Amino acid sequence: MLSIRNVDAYYGESRIFDDLSLDILDDKITCLIGRNGVGKSTALKVIMGLVRTTKGRVVYNNKELRKMQPYNRVKLGIGYVPQGRDIFARTTVQENLELGLIAQGKNAKVPDYIYDLFPILKEFAKRKGGDLSGGQQQQLAIARALVMNPGLLILDEPTEGIQPSIIKDIGTAIKQINKETRLTVLIVEQYLDFALDIADMIYVMDKGKVLIEGRTSRYGSDEVQAAMLNHNTEGA
Ligand SMILES: Nc1ncnc2c1ncn2[C@@H]1O[C@H](COP(=O)(O)OP(=O)(O)OP(=O)(O)O)[C@@H](O)[C@H]1O
Ligand SMILES: [Mg+2]
């Protein structure tokens, strides 16, 4: 379980939020949604240790992370795919995946289930990362995070700029791995239908606060959309 309590976040002197709290439950898929610029990616950076915080608690499996280096958070089993998926363009698909294995020692090998989840990565193993389509790069980025065998997988807008058929494949893969391995997943999304389709739990975030939270089944898409839009018309 990951618990964020009353944290703030700063870029330089600019404060993005000052009292954010979220709970990410084990074995569940949780979606954090909200309009552009409300601080969703910043919330993920708080979890990874990539942004400055001065207060609050970030607790993962009973360990306090807030002052821990990002690298050590990854070692605790938190996998992170940042927005815009930064795969290595000049190395092959296979090499990209093998980079995820470095922490596991010399004889580690990319597990077969990764290629079952994303068959295209097997087919294109020898292609350069940069020659894949955006959707294929996103699949590669997710696969590379999975190779590290995380207990919590964090994805920042995996559907951004991707064609619908691949969005569907990605959603299916995430649901499958969550079901089969009980991997806990936290996804930031703006694409509401995708979020409602895959998430067990949903948070709607506005500037630094959470407007809606709970089981996805409690909310219809109209209700979630209204929570996002209402605030829009009030102006930020
Ligand atoms: N490196 C940075 N330096 C300064 N300000 C930043 C930085 N990154 C983000 N911000 C600002 O912090 C605020 C929150 O940004 P963030 O990227 O967390 O939003 P978001 O909800 O992920 O938006 P989007 O949906 O567009 O990805 C925005 O006002 C943004 O301009
Ligand atoms: Mg973002």
Q: How confident is the model at residue 84 (pLDDT cuts 50, 70, 90)?
A: confident
Q: Could you tell me which residues come within 8 angstroms of residue 158 by beta carbon, excluding any fewer than 6 positions away?
A: 81, 85, 138, 142, 170, 174, 187, 189
* Half-sphere CA count of 2, side-chain side, radius 13 A: 27
Residue whose Cα lies nearest atom 9 of ligand 1: it is 42
Task: Inform me whether the pLDDT recorded for 51 exceeds 60.
Answer: yes
Tokens of 160: 């951004």
Kindly report, residue by residue over 181-191, the tens digit of the pLDDT: 999 999 999 88
For the packed helices 134-147 and 164-181, what is the interaxial angle rounded to 10 degrees?
10
- Give the pLDDT score at 223: 78
pLDDT at 225 over 90: no
Asked if residues 142 and 172 have their Cβ atoms less than 8 Å apart, the reply is: no
Q: Shortest CA distance to 120 belongs to which of 85, 94, 98?
A: 94
- Whether 110 has a pLDDT exceeding 70, the answer reads yes
Query: 15-37 pLDDT, tens per residue?
Result: 999 999 999 999 999 999 998 99
Locate the ligand 1 atom nearest the alpha carbon of residue 34 and give its number.
Answer: 21
Ligand having the closest approach to the CA of 32 = 1
H or E segment to which residue 90 belongs: none
Query: Is the pLDDT score of 44 beyond 80?
Result: yes
Q: Whose CA is nearest to atom 31 of ligand 1?
A: 37
3-state helix, strand and coil shares in percent for the chain, rounded to the nearest 5: 40, 25, 35
Residue partners of 193: CB distance under 8 A and separation at least 6: 221
Would you state the pLDDT for residue 231?
Answer: 57
Cα distance between residue 35 and residue 54, in whole Å? 25
Mutation to probe ligand 1, out of 32, 35, 41 (largest number of atoms < 8 A from CB): 41
Confidence (pLDDT) at 101 = 84
Q: Which residues constitute the domain of residue 136? A: 2-234
Domain count, the chain: 1
Work out the average pLDDT over 149-174: 93
Which pLDDT does position 105 carry in this prediction? 72
Min mean pLDDT across 56-65, 96-105, 137-146 is at 96-105
The CATH number linked to 62 is: 3.40.50.300
pTM confidence score: 0.92
* Highest-confidence segment of 129-138, 199-208, 211-220: 129-138
Residue 31: predicted pLDDT: 96
Tell how far the Cα of 21 is from the centroid of ligand 1, in angstroms.
18
Give the model's confidence band at 157: pLDDT under 50 very low, under 70 low, under 90 confident, else very high.
very high
Helix (H) or strand (E) holding 152: strand 152-156
pLDDT band at 234 (very low <50, low <70, confident <90, very high): very low
Three-state secondary structure call for residue 58:
strand
State the average pLDDT for the chain. Answer: 90
- So what's the pLDDT on residue 7? 96
| Per-chain residues with Cβ under 5 A from ion ligand 2 | 40-41, 83
Residue of 38, 85, 187 best suited for mutating to test ligand 1, as the one with most atoms within 8 Å of CB: 38
- Residue in the structure block whose two tokens are 């948070």: 203
